[in-house]
Amino acid sequence: MITVFQRKNMNYSRQRDLIMEYLKTTSCHPTAEKIYEKVKLQEPNISLGTVYRNLKQLVDNKMILRLHMGDGVDRFDANISEHNHLYCTNCGKVYDLEKKIPDKVVQNIYTSDFQGENKIDGFVIYFYGKCRSCKLLN
């Protein structure tokens, strides 16, 4: 029985496992601090440093994504499939935008030229606006 960690040549560690499991259950794009609080419920001795170290390792191994929504705090996402994010400028929460940007559009963005001067490896789009709940409040 090969674990998801072994597949990435990572040792098993209870702390890392709990972090990964928590991230897989949520779509709220938690910050390191929030992850720490949650995992602490099951592993009271865990330290914030450990959380940061594991998040870094999981990101490096492409098991999770790190989002920089521009408010100074990194957020994490275990959903590594192609999707985009909306930062609600009212409540500060980050939402998944289910609908993909059409392949044709992505293609268009990539080849949008840049005169072949640079080598574009990828891009990230961050959307800003109001989430459904906040929209309804006004």
Partner DNA sequence: GTCCTTGCAAATAGTTTGCAAGCCG
Partner DNA sequence: CGGCTTGCAAACTATTTGCAAGGAC
Q: Give me the residues that bind a second copy (CB under 8 A), please.
A: 66, 68, 70, 86, 88-89, 95, 97-102, 105, 108-109, 112-115, 117-132, 135
**Minimum separation from the CB atom of position 80 to a second copy (A):** 16
Single out the segment in contact with DNA by CB under 7 A; choices: 20-28, 47-55, 82-90, 113-121.
47-55
Q: Of 13 and 89, which has the nearer Cβ to DNA?
A: 13
Q: Of 72 and 122, which has the nearer Cβ to DNA?
A: 72
What would the DSSP string read from start to end of 61-102?
Answer: TTSSEEEE-SSS-EEEES--SS-EEEEETTT--EEEE-SPPP
The answer to the question of residue 89 lying near DNA (CB under 7 A) is no
Virtual torsion, Cα 80, 86, 92, 94, nearest 10 deg: -20
State how far the alpha carbon of 58 is from the alpha carbons of 42, 71, 119, in Å: 20, 22, 26
Cα–Cα distance measured from residue 125 to residue 97, given in angstroms and rounded to the nearest whole number: 11
Cα–Cα distance measured from residue 88 to residue 95, given in angstroms and rounded to the nearest whole number: 8
**Minimum separation from the CB atom of position 25 to DNA (A):** 19
Single out the segment in contact with DNA by CB under 7 A; choices: 52-60, 78-86, 97-105, 112-120.
52-60
| Interacting residue ranges for DNA, rule: CB under 7 A | 5-6, 10-16, 31-33, 43, 45-50, 52-54, 56-57, 72-74
